[in-house]
Amino acid sequence: MDTNKRKCAKCGAENPLNADFCAECGEKLSVNNANVLSRGFSNWSNKSRNYKIITGFLGCCVGAFIILLIIGAIFPMTNLALDNTNVQIDNQTTDYMLKGNSEANATVIISSKALNLNNVEINPTADGKFEYKLQIPKNVNTSEVVVTAKSPKKSENQATATIKRPTAQTTTTTTTKAPAELNSDSVKSIIGDSNIRSVDVKDGAVTVKYSLNFINDDNDGVRKTADDALTYMEKLFKDNRVTSVVVESYGTFTDQYGNDHDEMVMNVSMDKATANKMGDWNYVRTSLYSDNPSLNVFNSYSINPSIYKGLTFYVPISK
C-alpha cells in the first residue's frame, strides 16, 4: 500500500493523503497515526525555508521561556529593592547612606568601581532592611553602585543606584584686588596728622611716635596725649589688618640749666580686643578733661616721671 495514500475502510479505494472523505463511496476516512504523521511531515517539507527558520526560532524561544519558568519555580529570586536608584547630591557632599530592603537571611554585596568598593558584604536586619555609608570623593561626579542580594535556595537579585553631582557650569571668575600692604605710609594716611614723627608696622602691630605741641602744663600734656592716642586708635582699628596700637608723644623739656632737650611725654597702648569693647570714643575723650580723669581705657601706659611730678590730679604713673 502506498503510504502517501489513505485507504477507505469501506470500499478499499485509495485516496490522497490529505482527503477526509472517500472519493469513491463518500465514507469518512478513518484516522491512521502513521498516515497523520506522514501527512504532517509532508506538509512541513512543503513549507518555505524562511517559514521553517522563523518557526524553529519561535519554538526555541517558547522552550527557553518554559525552562525559565520551571527554574524560577524551583529557585525563586531573592527579594531586593533600593530606596532610591537615582540620587542627586551637591558638590560638597561626600557621604551618602545607601538604603534598601531584602530578606533577613540574605547576604547583600555592594560593589562600585568609581568608589573602589569590591564585593563589600553587609547583613540585613531582622526585618530585611540594610544600609551602607558610601564615601564619595568630591572629584567623582558620577558613580554607579551595584547591589546584589542572595538568599539560600534562591537565585541572586541585582539592583543599581546611580549617584550624580550637578553638571559643572562655567562661571566667570572675578579677580579681587588684594588690599594694599599695611605700612608706615598707609598708617600716616589713615591718621592724617602732620605731627607724626615716625611709624613702625610689624604683623599688624602699629607704633606711632608724634610731636606734642601747644600744651599749657603737665596736666595738659597727659590729657592731650591720651586724647590724641584715642583719636589715632579709633581710626586705625577700623582697618582689620591692625591688631594693636602704641602711641608715644614727645615734647621739648628745659632743664635747670636752661637747656632744651627732646623727651617722651607719655606712652599708651591698646589691642584689638579692647578696641572692640569701646563704646562712644568721643565720650571717653571728653572724660579725660574732667577733674579726675582715668587712663584705664588703655591696656597699658607710662608717664614721664618729670611730667608726673607736675600733675595736680591723681593717676598711677603707669599700668
Residue 177 falls inside a structural domain: no
Contact 96, 132 (CB under 8 A): no
Mean pLDDT by 10 residues, the chain (319 residues): 73 83 84 50 65 79 75 73 90 90 91 91 92 91 92 88 78 60 90 92 94 83 91 92 94 79 90 90 88 90 90 89
Same domain? 159 vs 241: no
Residue 188 falls inside a structural domain: yes
pLDDT of residue 58: 82
pLDDT of residue 245: 95
Same domain? 39 vs 95: no
Pick from 33, 35, 44: nearest CA to 15: 35
Pick from 120, 106, 119, 115: nearest CA to 137: 115
Same domain? 15 vs 70: yes
pLDDT of residue 210: 93
Q: What is the torsion angle, in degrees rounded to the nearest 10, for the CA atoms of residue 181, residue 185, residue 189 and residue 194? A: 160
pLDDT of residue 2: 55
Same domain? 155 vs 100: yes
| Structural domain ending residue among the three candidates 74, 94, 129 | 74
Residue 258 falls inside a structural domain: yes
Same domain? 46 vs 69: yes
DSSP string computed for 275-301: HHH---HHHHHHHTTSSS---TTSSEE
Same domain? 208 vs 287: yes
How many whole angstroms separate alpha carbon 303 and alpha carbon 182?
29
Domain range for 214: 184-308
Same domain? 195 vs 288: yes
Query: Residue ranges of the alpha helices (H) in the chain?
Result: 33-45, 49-74, 184-191, 218-236, 272-277, 281-287, 305-308
| Structural domain ending residue among the three candidates 164, 195, 210 | 164
Same domain? 215 vs 252: yes
Indicate the number of domains in the chain: 3
3 state SS of 51: helix
Pick from 249, 200, 255: nearest CA to 222: 249
pLDDT of residue 42: 53
Same domain? 207 vs 299: yes
pLDDT of residue 37: 47
How many whole angstroms separate alpha carbon 269 and alpha carbon 301?
6
